[in-house]
Amino acid sequence: MTMIKRILIIHLAVLACLLAASCTVVRIDEDAAGNRRDVISAGERAVDAAEYLEEYMEPYILPEINERKVDLSAVLEAAKSGWDNAGEAYGEIKGDIGAKYNFIVHDTAVVKEINTESRNGFMIVEPVDAKVDYTIKISIGPVFRGTAIRDSIRFIDFNHFVNQMDFAELANELNRFGNNNVTQSVDVMALEGKTIEFTGSFTQPDDNEISIMPIFMEVK
């Protein structure tokens, strides 16, 4: 067999493998020089959520959280004129018709109650410097629902991912990131009656309850 035939066979084998694996090329990001970085997906997964956060958390995600966080009271004041008004001023929306705004907020509050009756545990807090017309809940787990952290961050784009499963797992990974930060900083079960400072995200509510997924927390 000649060298040319060997090369041709190898190329055909590689092509067949790629087709069988349904490989997809996905544009991920561009560097400072404007060069695009591509990821090739062999089969179902293209982007591992943990690896994605490891690469982008420090240079992009955390700076955005710190730059865009706003006082919870400011968001609620704007929401008196409608959540669209608050969202246009402070929020981020992902999706099309029916999608809701998501917000990155911080505030100082007193912990009024800790509820662990279900695995979706929460604490009820009252902001120190503002009277609000909402019940403010901060999730404490151990089970966390929602995608507020993911969907409040403008840097994160569904187009970074080839399928909904990977995008959904990123939301779970961000919730774990926030919970780990909180549990490493405070003893959650000992917070009732204490004053805390927190940063977190929430999705615009349908009723008078706001459920915040915490990202950072400390006792004042």
Q: Are residues 142 and 178 in the same domain?
A: yes
Mean pLDDT across 141-146: 91
Q: Are residues 174 and 204 in the same domain?
A: yes
Q: What is the pLDDT of residues 4-23, one digit of tens each?
A: 444 444 444 444 444 333 33
Q: Are residues 27 and 62 in the same domain?
A: no
214 has a pLDDT exceeding 90: yes
- What pLDDT sits at residue 208? 92
- What pLDDT sits at residue 218? 97
- What pLDDT sits at residue 36? 37
Tell me which of 11, 28, 43 is where a domain ends. Answer: 43
- What pLDDT sits at residue 98? 74
CATH number at residue 151: 2.40.50.420
Least confident of 11-20, 132-141, 151-160: 11-20
Q: Are residues 3 and 88 in the same domain?
A: no
The encoded tokens of residue 89 equal 């001023």
Q: Which domain holds residue 54?
A: 45-219
Q: What is the pLDDT of residues 24-57, one digit of tens each?
A: 333 344 444 444 333 333 234 457 888 889 999 9
Q: Are residues 22 and 131 in the same domain?
A: no
Helices within the chain (DSSP H only) = 3-20, 49-56, 62-68, 72-79, 83-90, 148-152, 164-185
Q: What is the pLDDT of residues 178-190, one digit of tens each?
A: 999 999 999 999 9
pLDDT band of 97, cuts 50, 70, 90: low
Mean pLDDT of the chain: 82
Q: Are 137 and 13 in contact (CB under 8 A)?
A: no
Dihedral, 66, 69, 71, 74 alpha carbons, nearest 10: 150
With H, G, I as helix, E, B as strand and everything else as coil, classify residue 10.
helix
Q: Are residues 2 and 49 in the same domain?
A: no
Q: Are residues 74 and 129 in the same domain?
A: yes
pTM listed for this prediction? 0.78
Q: Are residues 189 and 117 in the same domain?
A: yes
Q: Are residues 90 and 3 in the same domain?
A: no
Q: Are residues 2 and 70 in the same domain?
A: no
Q: Are residues 56 and 1 in the same domain?
A: no
Number of domains composing the chain = 2
96 has a pLDDT exceeding 70: no
Q: Are residues 121 and 203 in the same domain?
A: yes
